[in-house]
Structure 1
Amino acid sequence: MAETKNVLIIEDHPLFREALVTALGRAFPSEATALEADSISSGLDTLQNNKVDLVLLDLNLTDSSNFDGLTRINAARPNCPIYVVSATEGAEAFNRAKALGATGYLPKSLSLDELAAALATALDGGSWFPEVESGLSEADDEVAARIASLTPAQRRVLSGLSDGLLNKQIAFDMGISEATVKAHMTAIFRKLGANNRTQALLVYKQAVSISGDDHSAA
């Protein structure tokens, strides 16, 4: 008997969360279990307390927007495949997600059968992105690559900086010393080509944002 796969669905719209559960049931009637969360914080708690084989992540939630949530989840569980599921469509979004570590991108405009087929690919270890030409400029591509080059710990430190946390607060949350946090920051500044926190955060926000995004798409 095949081992049951746990799929974490991080989506704050109950109806679409239900649609994903239904699509998952079609793809794997008895071999997949859906774990549900409606925010990044609750998703991170679920990841900490459960074995998760795949994350389905909405872009815009109550506690994250654009690709901020993707970088946080990827930092917390770097070896777990993450599929973005969003109403935000277009070459820029698809390629930005891929550059920042997503394994796949499922537009919410997909039919239930198409979602089920894509989820079958996801749980089989495959990647699934809409076929489009690159939508990133060379400069944007370079910024995304810099963020992608950070280690999971460095991404968690950067996320803490983005939340306005002090070094001691980041150290407490990560269970490391303040000296280690400072060492990570030094490495972050070097990789991002930044001289201080402000510059590093500007690079981060450029990397996780979509130009022209109206924040209404989820």
Structure 2
Amino acid sequence: MTACAVSDFGHGSGEAVPLAGESALRLLVVDDHPLFREALASAIALAFPKAELHEADGIGAACEILSRDSAIDLTLLDLSMQGVTGFEGLDTIRARFPRVPILIVSGVTEPRIMGEALRHGAAGFVPKAVDKATLTRAISEVLGGALFMPPDLATAPAPARGGDKAPIAERVARLTPQQMRVLGMIRQGKLNKQIAYELQVGDSTVKAHVSEILRKLEVISRTQIVIETAYLDFDQAGGGF
């Protein structure tokens, strides 16, 4: 499958949402429905008129674009495409390009699927039926290092995987030493930029760590991280903060 043409939508009309560094913003839309790609592109162009927008009609095409352009800031991905089952597309992009955050834009609205998408490394999830304001907020928050879920699902408990969810101490033990340090700072309420400054790493590295922490701890938000680890003895767990 070949990549779709790369588009730079230039200045759009309507009210734009300011974003730091917008002139360098690069977004990739991955969806096999041309009409939806066009509608999504129009919405993005209105909100971020200086952004450069790339399009792909499948996972292979998306990987080609990401391989060529290492400066892509965010991928907007549909889960349901031809030749893709379940989270295969998400897993493929996450494995090959772990530092590029992925916002799922899908027709699926089942909370269980949304939670699973975050466990597989997505940085956010919005249904295709959301309004432009919600889509814009989702993009802005994910670009800012936060996770995004629809407001009515943001505090929903993460679904257990068939009742076999491991105790929190065992899940924390899956983290690498650097992820443990990031976890400690999340528990202190620090933002991604603060964590990046203290660890002397880039924002994209912190985003990747946060996504992995969410996946390994089997939770869908920072709030759940704090709640689930509130009574854990980190000295005993090897945290060593």
TM superposition score category, shorter chain reference: 0.5 to 0.7
Which residue in 1 is equivalent to 2:52?
33
Structure 1 gap ranges (5+): 152-218
Shift in Å at residue 80 of structure 1?
Answer: 0.9
Which residue in 2 is equivalent to 1:45?
64
Choose the corresponding residue for 1:98, options 107, 118, 123. Answer: 118
Check if 1:112 corresponds to 2:132.
Answer: yes
Looking at both structures, which has the greater relative contact order when contacts are Cα pairs under 8 Å and sequence separation is at least 6? 1
Shift in Å at residue 13 of structure 1?
Answer: 0.9
Structure 2 gap ranges (5+): 1-19, 177-241
Could you tell me the percent identity over the aligned residues? 35
CA displacement 1:72-115 (0-9 Å, x = unmatched): 01001111100111001121011101111100001011012322
Quick one: which amino acid aligns to residue 54 of structure 1? L
CA displacement 1:112-171 (0-9 Å, x = unmatched): 23222322223333221123223623437749x99xx799xxxxxxxxxxxxxxxxxxxx
Which residue in 2 is equivalent to 1:134?
157
1:8-87 → structure 2 map (5 Å cutoff): 8-30=28-50, 32-50=51-69, 51-87=71-107
User: CA contact under 8 A between 1:26 and 1:116: conserved in structure 2?
Assistant: no
Shift in Å at residue 28 of structure 1?
Answer: 1.2
Q: How many residues align?
A: 147
1:137-148 → structure 2 map (5 Å cutoff): 137-139=160-162, 142=165
Between structures 1 and 2, the one with greater helix share: 1
User: TM-score normalized by structure 1?
Assistant: 0.60
User: CA contact under 8 A between 1:8 and 1:56: conserved in structure 2?
Assistant: yes
Q: Name the CA distance, whole Å, in 2 between partners of 1:89 and 1:72.
A: 22
User: TM-score normalized by structure 2?
Assistant: 0.55
